[in-house]
Amino acid sequence: MIKIKLIELEEHRNETTFRPFIFAKNYLREIGIEFTNSDDYDYAWVAQASIIDKQKSLKESVDNGLEFLSKITGDYMILDGQDATTLIGTIDVFRESNAKLFLKNSYLKDFDLYKKGWANGRMYWGEGDYSVPDIDELKPKMKLTGCNWLHTIQPSWQDYSQEKIHDISCMFGYPSTQIVYEHGLSQADYYDVHRKNLFDTLGDKYNMVSLVNGVRVPHQEYYQKMFNSKIIMAPLGCGEMAPRDIESAMFGSILVKPDVSYIYSKPFIYEDNETYIAVNYDWSNLEEKLDYILSNYNELRENLVQNMRKKYVEEYHYSKIALHLYDVFNNLEEVTHE
């Protein structure tokens, strides 16, 4: 039996990173992997919240992360539950650490893109100063976790036979209610611009619901407005995947979001015109796509929603996390199986 200790499970971003594995613990035990709270473990898993601090400079964050890892007495692996383009901080710690593996929820299909300079590494935010020029040397130890953000949700499929009264849901944060800096770079400068361009593109042509000045509303109101919308818009933010991606299928609405076909993740159920409608990041083809959807709504909705539900049920079964990790550990030379 391989024993894994989850380090600082209670930390917010660590908890969401570890959550799919907790859900899958019974399946993991069946294939010889179990979690432990004791110091008698084979590997410690260290997630991103323990080794990066985005409120500090990148150098200070990395130094603190390496100091944290230096106190771990046994073998360990780094887990990064962030989006595909976000390697900043975690990969910098991994580079100088003794971690056995770097496990991440998703990567860019084209690893060469990591060598280019992007704004804090996020390709869709445009050119910037951060890159990973030695990605080819690091890549052999970079593996997928076998899960991603959509695993953190346990959807309850709703009856969507009643008529929806809104064309579009834009129930997401905009404008930012506070300025958040990530290693000295203002997220809002990129996060808000993408959303502003969306609202400018939509104009007043459609029957739309959204937050007022970015202020959150009670959960019931939030979900009800999404449920009553034919289309759920999902702009990218600090990541490419978000809960609303599967909530759209849960509520029987069509998901529209920027194309994410450049992502490598397991599982991956985003298929343009099959499970969602992909648009350009700059929204340049959005109006034409929305008009097409609304003109053919009933037929498209049934196909897209049912496809998304079916693929989610098939691909997001927790047993598949266990099978994936079995292969990961089976390929580690030092692992022995009882």
Give residue-wise pLDDT tens across range 251-306: 999 999 999 999 999 999 999 999 999 999 999 999 999 999 999 999 999 999 99
Q: What is the pTM of this model?
A: 0.95
Other C-beta atoms closer than 10 Å to the C-beta of 260 total 22
In which band, very low, low, confident or very high, does the pLDDT at 179 lie, cut at 50, 70 and 90?
confident
The answer, yes or no, to whether residue 120 has pLDDT greater than 90, is: yes
The confidence band for 333, taking pLDDT boundaries of 50, 70 and 90, is low
**Mean pLDDT in residue range 67-94:** 97
| Pairing status of strand 33-35 against strand 2-6 | parallel
pLDDT by residue (tens digit) across 56-73? Answer: 999 999 999 999 999 999
Rounded Cα distance between 101 and 112, Å, is 20
Q: Using CA atoms, how far apart are residues 4 and 335, in angstroms rounded to an integer?
A: 12
In this predicted structure, the answer to whether residue 108 has a pLDDT above a threshold of 70 is: yes
- Report the mean per-residue pLDDT for the chain: 95
Mean pLDDT confidence for 154-162: 95
- Contact criterion met (CB below 8 Å) for 22 and 29: no
pLDDT tens string 190-231: 999 999 999 999 999 999 999 999 999 999 999 999 999 999
Q: How confident is the model at residue 334 (pLDDT cuts 50, 70, 90)?
A: low
pLDDT (0 to 100) of residue 220: 96
Task: Answer whether 199's CB lies under 8 Å from 220's CB.
Answer: no
In percent, the amount of the chain with pLDDT more than 90 equals 94
98-107 pLDDT, tens digit each:
999 999 999 9
Strand order through the sheet with 229-233: 208-210, 166-170, 229-233, 254-258, 277-279
pLDDT of residue 204: 96
What was the pLDDT predicted at 61? Answer: 98
For residues 234-241, average pLDDT:
92
Q: What is the DSSP string of 204-234?
A: TSS-EEE-STT----HHHHHHHHHTEEEEE-
CA gap 324, 216 in Å, rounded: 37
Per-residue model confidence (pLDDT) at position 313 = 97
**pLDDT tier, 337 (very low <50, low <70, confident <90, very high otherwise):** very low
- Whether the predicted pLDDT of 242 surpasses 50: yes
CA-CA distances (angstroms) from residue 120 to 7, 85, 130, 250?
26, 9, 5, 33
Q: What pLDDT does residue 66 have?
A: 98
pLDDT, one tens digit per residue, over 12-54 is 999 999 999 999 999 999 999 999 999 999 999 999 999 999 9
105 DSSP assignment? S
**pLDDT reported for residue 338:** 39
- 37 vs 94: CA distance, rounded Å: 24
Its sign, for the CA torsion 20, 26, 29, 30, is: negative
**Cβ neighbours around 107 below 10 Å, total:** 23
pLDDT-derived band at 238, boundaries 50, 70, 90: confident
